[in-house]
């Protein structure tokens, strides 16, 4: 599942490439036909992310809110003047990198290709298009409805104005494992399985520790860790959580997924810090990875 940093990159791409334009909106698959008809020819006024949800603000009090879930992705294309990643979303691999353009963009007038696969929504602007496939959520709302949905989410570490206090308070009053709480989007928005595993490792916290057992200083540090890791992910377009000292000679801008993480998907392999076998279990339906020695 794409984590919050990818959705913030999506918001940035929509802002750079489509805001201010009257977009042609359609639903080739047909499952969003009514919403597409309501948005067709409307001006995109803004694009923003909160956690794993993308909010596209259109003129006329209309918001297209989407959540990519496990399998969703936005793909992009356009003329030679269109700039940006060609795909952001699933499928993801260890190290997670967004797809770039491998060939030259089409020259001449904009001619979007026929939709391929189950395209839920297609947006077409002056120089490019965007196709949404496989989302968990794709709804048309008023701004008040969209804001109510956003308010139900926890604070977002990638929001410069976010207050970590609600996150700290929610964890401290819960008996649930901190590893489960980090994945609860009502507690903390945007953190997924990789950031969960890696931030807990870096702070040397046992993921099975009840939230109420953690003090405020430890939780403030865990918040700061996720802010730093997610900012790096938003900058690089992939999740790299290891420190430079632990990946000697590796260029962080290159694709080196085998050096990207300390414990995520390394069950049974040596911990990169102490050499102990990395443990794995299932927690709240998702794979959990940790070092029993470093995170005791």
Look up tokens 């632990």; give the residue.
246
Sort 105 into a burial class: Cβ within 10 Å, 0-12 / 13-18 / 19+: middle
Q: What 3-state class would DSSP assign to 199? A: helix
**Candidate list 3, 96, 198, 225, residue with the active-site label:** 3
Q: Other CB atoms closer than 10 Å to residue 22's CB: what's the count? A: 14
- Candidates 48, 52, 65, 203; catalytic one: 52
Q: Is 12 a catalytic residue?
A: no
- Let me know the angle formed at the C-alpha of 53 by 218 and 114, rounded to the nearest 5 degrees: 145
Considering the candidates 2, 28, 157, 177, report the single residue annotated as catalytic: 2
Q: Tokens 């260029």 label which residue?
A: 251
Contact between 59 and 67 under an 8 Å Cβ cutoff? The reply is no
Of the candidates 31, 97, 231, 286, the residue annotated as catalytic is 286
The answer to whether residue 143 is catalytic is no
Are 261 and 241 a contacting pair, CB within 8 Å?
Answer: yes
Say whether 2 is catalytic: yes
52 flagged as catalytic: yes
Three-state DSSP class for 93?
Answer: coil
- The residues that are catalytic are 2-3, 52, 286
């Amino acid at each position: 599942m794409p984590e919050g940093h990818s959705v913030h990159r999506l918001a940035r791409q929509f802002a750079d490439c489509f805001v201010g334009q009257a977009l042609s909106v359609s639903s080739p698959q047909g499952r969003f036909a009514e919403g597409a008809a309501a948005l067709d020819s409307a001006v995109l006024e803004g694009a923003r992310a909160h956690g794993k949800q993308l909010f596209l603000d259109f003129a006329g009090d209309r918001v297209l809110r989407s959540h990519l879930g496990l399998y969703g992705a936005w793909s992009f294309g356009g003329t030679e003047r269109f700039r940006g990643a060609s795909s952001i979303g699933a499928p993801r691999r260890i190290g997670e990198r967004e797809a770039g353009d491998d060939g030259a963009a089409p020259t001449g007038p904009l001619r979007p290709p026929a939709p391929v696969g189950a395209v839920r929504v297609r947006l077409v602007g002056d120089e490019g298009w965007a196709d949404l496939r496989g989302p968990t959520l794709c709804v048309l709302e008023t701004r008040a409805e969209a804001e109510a949905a956003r308010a139900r989410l926890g604070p977002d570490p990638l929001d410069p104005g976010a207050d970590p206090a609600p996150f700290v308070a929610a964890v401290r009053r819960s008996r649930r494992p901190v590893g489960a709480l980090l994945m609860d989007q009502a507690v903390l928005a945007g953190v997924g399985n990789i950031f969960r595993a890696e931030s807990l490792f870096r702070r040397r916290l046992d993921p099975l520790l009840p939230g109420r057992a953690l003090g405020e200083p430890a939780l403030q540090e865990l918040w700061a860790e996720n802010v730093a890791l997610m900012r790096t992910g938003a900058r690089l377009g992939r999740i790299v959580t290891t420190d430079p000292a632990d990946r000697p000679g590796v260029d962080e801008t290159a694709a080196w997924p085998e050096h990207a993480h300390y414990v995520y998907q390394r069950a049974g392999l040596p911990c990169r810090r102490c050499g102990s076998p990395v443990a794995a279990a299932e927690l709240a339906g998702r794979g959990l990875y940790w070092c029993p020695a470093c995170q005791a």
